[in-house]
Structure 1
């Protein structure tokens, strides 16, 4: 499986989800490659912090913020079962390349209708890409959610009838994730019994389910 995390809006938690999904898939025994396709290199920075802390490498990683990504990824998948692409925060030729490289696209959004509306250009690119890749699948992912708030309930209703639909699993706004950024760890390592760790596990499990038609919910 090749999954790309993309959103033209910055600050939605793409890198946090990308590193944690890669780590969770690796924890389950899969061979995983994380491709940092964001010119800011945040995932590579996280990996460097992990290295400074003397922590073991959980998955392979490469920086590949190039518009030829879709042509280069096929040469990288030998020996790995899953590729996770952490994409750039703007709609560029690099985003188009990441879409073409992927089998599934996750669009992290915070629980605000404005975040979903801001993805219009990305959704247009996805529709365009399906001309070349009819099987391409996309899903919204509610991230940085504050539980039991009206804003979260409103966001779920807003996404209930859209195409692509939203993942059933969502991820909360949790201090555990912030601690992981500075320590180079993942939540299943630092707080394995936490709600944050369970949310990532649920998201990974849903991601591995067979692709369903994008008919909305």
Structure 2
């Protein structure tokens, strides 16, 4: 399965979710290939930080920020159980290529007024991709979410009947994710981060059930 995490809006935690999804699958003894398709290369930076810390490599991270991704990703997927693509913000050509490469698209969003983050351009690109890939599955993922806040509940309710719908699993606003990003670690490798670890495991399980 090829999973692409995409959003035209930056700063929604796309890279963090992509790395942790890949890491959770690797922890479950799945063969994972990670493609950093964001020109900023944040996932590559995370991988290099991990190497500097002398930590074992959980999965391979390669840079592939070009609009031929849809032709190259299936070849990379041959030797993997899962391919995770960390897509670019605000680069339409790369975004289209990632959409055409994917079996499943996850759109991370933060709880906020609906019109602020349900990017019309992102959804237009998704509709365009489905002309060529009618079976393409897509879901919103609530990230950096205060589960008990009114705005989080309102956001989940607004998306309940939306297309694409929202996953039941939500990821909380936790400092552990920032600490993990800086040190080349996964939240499951940090002490005292059981809640974040459980959230990622639940997300991974729900995504797995969407496999085509």
TM over 0.5: yes
The runs of 5 or more residues in structure 2 that have no matched partner are none
Deviation at 1:187, TM superposition (A): 1.0
1-structure distance, mates of 2:120, 2:54: 42
TM-score (norm 2): 0.96
* In the alignment, structure 1 residue 182 sits paired with structure 2 residue 156: no
Q: Which runs of 4+ in 1 moved over 3 A?
A: 114-118
1:158 to partner: Cα distance: 1.2
Partners of 1:19 and 1:43 within 8 A in 2: yes
Q: SS state of the match for residue 62, structure 1?
A: strand
Deviations 1:4-44 (A, max 9, x none): 00000000000000000000001011000010000000000
1:36 matched to which residue of 2?
A: 36
**Structure 1: 5+ residue runs without aligned partners?**
213-217
For residues 4-153 of structure 1, what are the structure 2 equivalents within 5 Å? Answer: 4-114=4-114, 117-153=117-153
TM-score (norm 1): 0.94
Q: Which residue of 2 aligns with 1:160?
A: 160
Contact 1:7 1:122 in 2 (8 A): yes
Give per-residue Cα distances to partners, 1:142-166, cap 9 Å, x unaligned: 0000121111111111111101100
SS at match of 1:131: helix
Deviation by residue 1:23-76 (Cα, 9 ceiling, x = unmatched):
000101100001000000000001010000000000111000001100111221
* 2-structure distance, mates of 1:16, 1:211: 21
Larger displacement relative to structure 2 (141-150 or 112-121): 112-121
SS of 2:157's partner is helix
Contact 1:176 1:191 in 2 (8 A): no
